[in-house]
């Protein structure tokens, strides 16, 4: 600390004391009687962002125009109609008669000078739904933001990201995507200069990642990334929220820091602080693409109950409902921020492509998307193949092929699945989700970071139809031993480079899993992230019911999930498809 900071600090204290005195002088009614006030010390922007006739969603931004910070901020207004505000997000909303009192959340209780806070809520009404005409911030009457140009967040302003009702259909279209400097530097150092400028997603995989970087070698927190995105002139940033209670219930590699019952901690210490950062008006010009909780809901379909694939942990998470609640809460909270685009994870074709799993998944996702105050308006779409290896398109055969009259569905590899690749799966799932109640404009992201399957073992033509299995096995570019294999796959390569709107219903091919980051360790490595050794990451393991009791196909010597795995990165570069020039 230098000597010059001390007087400045004193000055701030003095101002705070003065404003406390003024606040005290206002008394319970809060109106300043007979005192001339030069300019209101606050501005309130109250917007109805969605209205369905007898209910509505409001988004309110309060700005502190005073020279000093304000602690424990509180906003009040009276409704002229019979509106009833329900519980809100980013603040506590309470109503008595027509009077509404909104109090700051503990994690965002101070409004700095010039700073803003945004909160929202759903309300009901009958008749008309006029906006309140007067607002007070800690007792002082505020300016009402009239929607004049220049107020951040108003429609048509520069950088206006739109409201939940008018987000762009595809956030990737026309966007300049953020390149994560942490990953980029690592890739460059590791022989990957040719691809180091590709955009990859930022993973928020534990509470501390919000402020100081996620697993492994990453150093930047969420604000650092958002600031760096602005500095890059990016218009979109991709992130993953990945920290549910009882995370990774069917495996050990990515078990997390929160136990199965810690849903409140997830809400208050993970999602709420992320929402507080993302709703900073400074970032309103960025489209924030958020992939929600990989593998969680799919696990509740396939790895529970009487299925041979069930695990005790997944049964627990189904029974306690905390995956559904956590996803619903994340969608509601982050979806209330107009420039956030949420994509819910849909596993991959080799997981959910069977009839038993496909439609039930769409229904479960709908249930989650309409829980905890969320609506389907909070869902921009779905994310397929995240951190997985399923081929984007099998070029040499389709699900409609047959050999001597027998469908490829009966081959050992396809095993009655309805899909042979990710793109056909993603497009079909989109349709199923719309049938289940999702918006008709949802799109799918396909993670193509590691599903390239190039290199010397890539078949260049369909195989001869000598037998069903010979045809399928000789034709498929996905060279895995079994589609249930997911850890550090030998022979895999980088897939399609990130690309917006590559096919109908597909919002983007995107690199969500940063290539080079491990899927899991084969041997115990002490750590504080909750991660454990996973046999699926051990090349000598003989498998289980979830991978048809096959070999794991994993590369040996892997570090913990999320940590840099140089040998895998080199494998991915070597086997890239399309190849790297
Ligand atoms: C790990 C995370 C990591 C992510 C991206 C997951 O498997 O559990 O810690 O951030 O992969 O590499």
Confirm if 276 and 107 have CB atoms less than 8 A apart: yes
* Structural element, H or E, at residue 325: helix 322-335
- Say yes or no: domain 181-574 is CATH 3.20.20.40: yes
Cα-to-centroid distance, 283 and ligand 1 (Å): 25
Indicate the average pLDDT of the chain.
Answer: 89
Paired strand residues for 94: 101
Measured distance CA(233)–CA(132) in Å, rounded: 37
4: which DSSP letter?
Answer: T
Q: Which atom of ligand 1 is nearest to the CA of 214?
A: 10
Q: Which residue has the higher pLDDT, 62 or 382?
A: 382
Instruction: Please state, for a pLDDT cut of 90, what percent of the chain lies above it.
Output: 77
Please work out whether the CB of residue 447 comes within 6 Å of at least one atom of ligand 1. Answer: no
Q: Which strands sit side by side in the sheet containing 42-51, from one edge to the other?
A: 84-89, 116-124, 55-64, 42-51, 143-144
Asked whether the predicted pLDDT for residue 326 surpasses 70, the reply is: yes
Rg (C-alpha) for the chain, rounded Å, is 26
Q: Which atom of ligand 1 is nearest to the CA of 242?
A: 2
Q: Helical H runs in 336-450?
A: 349-352, 355-369, 422-436
Confirm if 59 and 338 have CB atoms less than 8 A apart: yes
* Nearest Cα residue to 535 out of 295, 251, 315, 255: 251
- Omega cis (within 30) before 500: no
Specify whether 248 is catalytic.
yes
- The preferred substitution site among 215, 389, 520, 568 for testing ligand 1, maximizing ligand atoms within 8 Å of CB, is 215
CA-based max dimension of the chain: 96
How many CA atoms within 13 Å lie on the side-chain side of 366? 16
Cα-to-centroid distance, 535 and ligand 1 (Å): 17
Read off the pLDDT of residues 129-144 as tens digits, 9 standing for 90 and up. 999 999 999 999 998 8
74: left (phi over 0), alpha (psi -120 to 50) or beta: beta
Asked whether the predicted pLDDT for residue 60 surpasses 60, the reply is: yes
Between CA 576 and CA 181, with CA 214 as vertex, the angle to 5 degrees is 55
Paired strand residues for 74: 103
CA of 160: how far to CAs of 154, 156, 442, 459, 490, in Å? Answer: 6, 6, 21, 48, 45
* Nearest Cα residue to 569 out of 555, 553, 549, 552: 555
Confirm if 531 and 255 have CB atoms less than 8 A apart: yes
Confirm if 125 and 55 have CB atoms less than 8 A apart: yes
Please work out whether the CB of residue 203 comes within 6 Å of at least one atom of ligand 1. Answer: yes
Grouping H, G, I as helix, E, B as strand and the rest as coil, residue 377 is helix
455: left (phi over 0), alpha (psi -120 to 50) or beta: left
Question: Can you give the residue ranges of every domain in the chain?
Answer: 1-35, 39-144, 181-574
- Say yes or no: domain 39-144 is CATH 2.60.40.290: yes
Asked whether the predicted pLDDT for residue 33 surpasses 80, the reply is: no
- Cα first-last separation, the chain: 50
* Atom 4 in ligand 1: residue holding the nearest Cα: 562
Q: What pLDDT, on a 0 to 100 scale, did the predictor assign at position 39?
A: 67
Please work out whether the CB of residue 394 comes within 6 Å of at least one atom of ligand 1. Answer: no
Q: One of 182, 248, 272, 478 is an active-site residue; which one? A: 248
Please work out whether the CB of residue 561 comes within 6 Å of at least one atom of ligand 1. Answer: yes
Confirm if 148 and 476 have CB atoms less than 8 A apart: no
Read off the pLDDT of residues 151-174 as tens digits, 9 standing for 90 and up. 444 443 333 344 444 699 999 999
Asked whether the predicted pLDDT for residue 7 surpasses 50, the reply is: no
498: which DSSP letter?
Answer: P
State the DSSP string of 40-63: -SEEEEEEEEEE-SSEEEEEEEEE
- The preferred substitution site among 561, 563, 569 for testing ligand 1, maximizing ligand atoms within 8 Å of CB, is 561
Dihedral angle of Cα 485, 487, 491, 493, to the nearest 10 degrees: 110
Q: HEC states along 168-186?
A: CCCCCCCCCECCCHHHHHH
Least confident of 2-11, 311-320, 465-474, 497-506: 2-11
Please work out whether the CB of residue 214 comes within 6 Å of at least one atom of ligand 1. Answer: yes
Q: Which residue has the higher pLDDT, 511 or 67?
A: 511
Please work out whether the CB of residue 366 comes within 6 Å of at least one atom of ligand 1. Answer: no
* Nearest Cα residue to 562 out of 254, 345, 289, 259: 254
| pTM for the model | 0.74
Return the sign of the alpha-carbon dihedral for residues 455, 460, 462, 465.
Answer: negative
Read off the pLDDT of residues 442-485 as tens digits, 9 standing for 90 and up. 999 999 999 999 999 999 999 999 999 999 999 999 999 999 99
Q: What pLDDT, on a 0 to 100 scale, did the predictor assign at position 4?
A: 31
Residues in the chain, total: 581
């Amino acid at each position: 600390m230098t000597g010059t900071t001390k007087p400045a600090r004193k000055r701030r204290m003095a101002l705070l004391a003065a404003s406390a005195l003024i606040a005290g002088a206002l008394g319970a009614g809060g109106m300043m009687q007979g005192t001339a006030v030069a300019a209101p010390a606050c501005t309130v922007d109250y917007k109805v962002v969605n209205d369905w006739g007898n209910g509505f969603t409001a988004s309110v931004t309060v700005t502190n125009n005073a020279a000093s910070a304000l602690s424990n901020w509180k906003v009040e207004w009276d409704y002229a109609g019979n509106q009833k505000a329900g519980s809100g997000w980013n603040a506590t909303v309470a109503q008595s008669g027509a009077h509404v009192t909104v109090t700051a959340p503990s994690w965002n209780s101070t409004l700095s000078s010039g700073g803003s806070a945004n909160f929202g809520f759903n309300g009901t009404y009958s008749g008309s739904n006029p906006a309140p005409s007067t607002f007070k911030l800690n007792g002082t009457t505020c300016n009402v933001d009239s929607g004049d140009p220049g107020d951040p967040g108003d429609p048509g302003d520069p950088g206006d990201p739109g409201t939940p009702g008018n987000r762009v259909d595809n956030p990737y279209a026309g966007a300049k995507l953020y390149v994560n400097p942490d990953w980029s530097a690592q890739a460059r150092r590791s022989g990957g200069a040719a691809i180091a400028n590709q955009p990859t997603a930022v993973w928020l995989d534990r509470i501390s990642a919000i402020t100081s970087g996620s697993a492994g070698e990453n150093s930047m927190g969420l604000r650092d990334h958002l600031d760096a995105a602005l500095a890059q002139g990016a218009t979109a940033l991709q992130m993953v929220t990945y920290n549910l209670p009882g995370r990774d219930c069917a495996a050990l590699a990515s078990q997390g820091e929160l136990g199965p019952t810690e849903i409140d901690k997830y809400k208050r210490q993970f999602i709420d602080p992320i929402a507080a950062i993302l709703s900073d008006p400074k970032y309103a010009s960025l489209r924030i693409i958020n992939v929600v909780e990989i593998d969680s809901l799919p696990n509740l379909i396939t790895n529970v109950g009487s299925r041979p694939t069930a695990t005790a942990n997944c049964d627990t998470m189904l029974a306690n409902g905390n995956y559904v609640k956590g996803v619903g809460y994340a969608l509601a909270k982050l979806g209330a921020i107009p420039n956030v685009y949420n994509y819910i994870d849909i596993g991959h074709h080799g997981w959910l492509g069977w009839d038993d799993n496909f439609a039930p998944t769409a229904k479960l996702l709908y249930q989650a998307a309409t829980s905890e105050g969320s609506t389907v308006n909070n869902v921009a779409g779905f994310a397929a193949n995240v951190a997985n290896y399923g081929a984007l398109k099998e070029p040499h055969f389709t699900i409609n092929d047959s050999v001597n009259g027998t469908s490829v569905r009966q081959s050992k590899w396809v095993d009655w699945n309805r899909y042979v690749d990710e793109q056909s799966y993603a497009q079909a799932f989109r349709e199923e989700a719309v049938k289940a109640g999702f918006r008709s404009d949802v799109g799918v992201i396909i993670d193509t970071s590691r599903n390239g399957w190039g290199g010397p073992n890539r078949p260049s033509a369909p195989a001869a139809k000598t037998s069903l299995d010979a045809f399928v096995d000789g034709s498929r570019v996905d060279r895995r031993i079994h589609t249930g294999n997911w850890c550090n796959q030998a022979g895999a390569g980088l897939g399609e480079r990130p690309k917006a709107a590559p096919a109908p219903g597909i919002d983007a091919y995107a690199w969500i899993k940063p290539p080079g980051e491990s899927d899991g360790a084969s041997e115990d490595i002490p750590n504080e992230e909750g991660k454990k050794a996973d046999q699926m990451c051990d090349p000598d393991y003989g498998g289980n019911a979830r991978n048809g009791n096959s070999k794991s196909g994993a590369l040996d010597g892997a570090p913990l999930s999320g940590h840099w795995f140089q040998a895998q990165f080199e494998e991915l570069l070597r086997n890239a498809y399309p190849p790297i020039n």
